[in-house]
Structure 1
Amino acid sequence: MSDALINGLAGAGGGIIAQLITYPLQTVNTRQQTERDLKKEKRKLGTIEQMCQVVKQEGWERLYGGLTPSLVGTAASQGVYYYFYQIFRTKAEIKALERQKRGIGDGSVGMFSSLLVAALSGCVNVLLTNPIWVVVTRMQTHTKISKKDRPDRLTTTAPEETVLSVIEPPPYGTSHAVQEVYDEAGFWGFWKGVAPTLIMVSNPSIQFMLYETMLKKLKKRRSLSKQGNTGITALEIFLLGALAKLGATVVTYPLLVVKARLQAKQVTTGDKRHHYKGTLDAILKMIRYEGFNGFYKGMSTKIVQSVLAAAVLFMVKEELVKGARILLLKDGINSMKSKPP
């Protein structure tokens, strides 16, 4: 098994575990990002308040709306990303060693090369998996409708006696979301938001650049202080992953909001301020009607969710890679022992 495949499978496994742990936060954050109420006086609900509101009005299952395609998307995204990352990283390391032989550099991959490797891996990942995330966003932002919002189905009781119970619509599943996207924009509708998403490649690029830089420095310091021992613990990987993701999220969050707005169900009737024709149109309308604060809706939730998810992913992925290499090494030794002399 190649090192790239090991990293790809380990990344997929780590991503699934991280997604399962942090998914309710992701659902709430997506709703915060796509919330388009322009009334300044309305009090914004906090993360916990909004989670409780979703549970009360729509049930626990809505916090996990779109979980199945999201897990598929996460496994695909992380698997593709780490697979190509390892391939590009290996090539960058070979070139760095070749330059060292010519007396250029110290043989290690520099910061710019690390950024380029992460960016190329991210572009491949985005182009292959964007349709999955369009469907996931639709399922996360789909809400049940109350009788208050459906005058055609109200009883004849007085307004104050109107029951605000939730109408149970037909189940909104993956197939419904796929059909909805296709009906709205056809085949290319599944690549909505791909422009800001491609720009968002800078997020994992910055993240991996920070992670690799901090990891290299920690290993170097560890080798100097412990006579060549460069072993890094799972907790240290967890903390490095969290710090790297924090830095990347703060820098690139506005693009996440624009992407979520484009991928959510578009309002084609009524207030045109809520309908976006494309990336530039979304940015201009958000600046005009919501101000720059609109680009940071739900940022605190995203920081908690993404930092925790990244930390868990890095920790689990590194442990899986380490375990896989040990198993392969043992299998290789055992097979050599079993061969007749």
Structure 2
Amino acid sequence: MSDNVAHALAGAGGGIISMAVTYPLLTVGTRLQVQRNNKDEAAYTGNLDALRKILSQEGITGLFSGLESAVFGAAVTNGVYYYFFEAVKAAFERASKRKSMSTVESMLSGAIAGSMTCIITNPIWVVNTRLTVKQKRQRAVANGDSESSSLKESTPSTLQAFTDIIKEDGVLSLWQGLIPALILVINPIIQYTAFEQLKNRIERVRKLGSLDFFLLGAISKLCATGVTYPYVLIKSRMQLKQSKNENERYTSLVDGLRKVIAQEGIAGLYKGIESKLVQSMLTASLLFMSKEALFTYTVKLLLLIGARKSLASAV
């Protein structure tokens, strides 16, 4: 079995850990991204206000709406990404007979791996986005009105949300937001190119430790998210059930950008960026750190169960 599988399994494990730890920040950021009416009484005025309102109205579980699909999505996304990235990386290294990739090769590897990941995992993130922004309506207080009490809704399961989307909007709706998602392949390209090049420079001087991987993950993700955030926002909104209102429906990435700027100003393109930056940096840092640690154990496990012939070539 090739190292690609070990990298994929380690990446999936790292994705699960990083997503579970940082998910509340993702919830806050996503809800701010899809919020269009800032004047509504229930609107979030910022990250801290969103956090406070979610906790007061929905409890701690509100911060973890859609966690099940997100953890599954993170595992699949990172597993698929690392499998293709390492496969392309190995091909480049065999062709060039070098132990490290050039900047262009890093970018090509990221583009191929990112594109395959987007196409395969987009349905998972459509479901997750809709679950994350679904807010539970509250019971009327004090008067015990049974009619008002019936307004209480529970968050649907991942499977239920998946089947509801297909039933109501059709199978192709699972790939809503795919175009901006494919454009956002530039995010991991920037992230992994920055990571690989910084890592290569440091490795020429000394061996990297867990803290190095944590810091390199944070720096590379900061660069990537800062550049691509407006596309992240449009993708999140396009993954929601599209409104029949012409002003609220985005027919394309350009249409979405145009309407956000017209209705909410340039600042509207950066709603929730603070929590997204923190969440993305922490996620990337934990992912890179845990993935590198898990890779060694994954190789040993594959060797133990007889899925690998030799450990020497992988560690």
Q: TM > 0.5 between the two?
A: yes
Confirm or deny that 1:66 pairs with 2:62: no
Q: Residues of 2 paired with 1:51 and 1:78: CA distance?
A: 27
Deviations 1:44-92 (A, max 9, x none): 5332331221111112212111111111111111000001111000001
Contact 1:145–1:166 (8 Å) recurs in 2:
no
Letter of the structure 2 residue corresponding to residue 216 of structure 1: N
Bigger relative contact order (CA 8 A; separation at least 6): 2
Contact 1:58–1:166 (8 Å) recurs in 2:
no
Letter of the structure 1 residue corresponding to residue 90 of structure 2: T
Q: Aligned with 2:95: secondary structure?
A: helix
1:237 Cα shift? Answer: 0.7
Where in structure 1 are there 5+ consecutive unaligned residues? 98-105, 149-153, 156-163, 223-230, 337-341
Partner of 1:113: 105
1:330 Cα shift? Answer: 8.3
Partner of 1:84: 84
Confirm or deny that 1:221 pairs with 2:221: no
Q: Residues of 2 paired with 1:38 and 1:202: CA distance?
A: 30
1:170 Cα shift? Answer: 4.5
Where in structure 2 are there 5+ consecutive unaligned residues? 311-315
Query: Which residues of 2 match residues 325-340 of structure 1 at below 5 A?
Result: 325=299
Partner of 1:226: none
Counterparts in 2 of 1:282 and 1:308: CA distance versus 1, 3 Å: same
Aligned length: 306
Partner of 2:193: 209
Q: Residues of 1 paired with 2:171 and 2:299: CA distance?
A: 41
Q: Say which is worse superposed, 180-189 or 238-247, in terms of deviation.
A: 180-189
Query: Which residues of 2 match residues 308-319 of structure 1 at below 5 A?
Result: 308-319=282-293
Confirm or deny that 1:323 pairs with 2:297: yes
1:38 Cα shift? Answer: 4.9
Deviations 1:202-249 (A, max 9, x none): 101110000000000000122xxxxxxxx2110111001110001011
1:287 Cα shift? Answer: 1.8
Q: Aligned with 1:266: secondary structure?
A: coil
Please give the TM-score of this superposition, normalised by the length of structure 2. Answer: 0.88
Aligned alpha-carbon RMSD (Å): 2.9
Partner of 2:2: 2
Alignment match of 2:261 (pick from 278, 287, 297): 287
Query: Which residues of 2 match residues 1-341 of structure 1 at below 5 A?
Result: 1-39=1-39, 45-97=45-97, 108-146=100-138, 167-222=151-206, 231-268=207-244, 271-325=245-299
Q: Aligned with 1:274: secondary structure?
A: coil
Counterparts in 2 of 1:86 and 1:107: CA distance versus 1, 3 Å: closer
Q: Residues of 2 paired with 1:41 and 1:63: CA distance?
A: 20
Counterparts in 2 of 1:4 and 1:71: CA distance versus 1, 3 Å: same
Letter of the structure 2 residue corresponding to residue 127 of structure 1: I
Q: Aligned with 2:204: secondary structure?
A: helix
1:43 Cα shift? Answer: 8.4
1:10 Cα shift? Answer: 0.1
Contact 1:144–1:167 (8 Å) recurs in 2:
no
1:192 Cα shift? Answer: 0.2
| Identity across the alignment (%) | 39
Counterparts in 2 of 1:274 and 1:180: CA distance versus 1, 3 Å: farther
Q: Residues of 2 paired with 1:76 and 1:266: CA distance?
A: 26
Please give the TM-score of this superposition, normalised by the length of structure 1. Answer: 0.82
Counterparts in 2 of 1:107 and 1:60: CA distance versus 1, 3 Å: closer
Q: Say which is worse superposed, 171-180 or 285-294, in terms of deviation.
A: 171-180
Q: Larger Rg: 1 or 2?
A: 1
1:147 Cα shift? Answer: 6.3
Counterparts in 2 of 1:147 and 1:34: CA distance versus 1, 3 Å: same
Q: Residues of 2 paired with 1:42 and 1:187: CA distance?
A: 32
Q: Aligned with 2:73: secondary structure?
A: helix
1:41 Cα shift? Answer: 11
Counterparts in 2 of 1:331 and 1:27: CA distance versus 1, 3 Å: closer
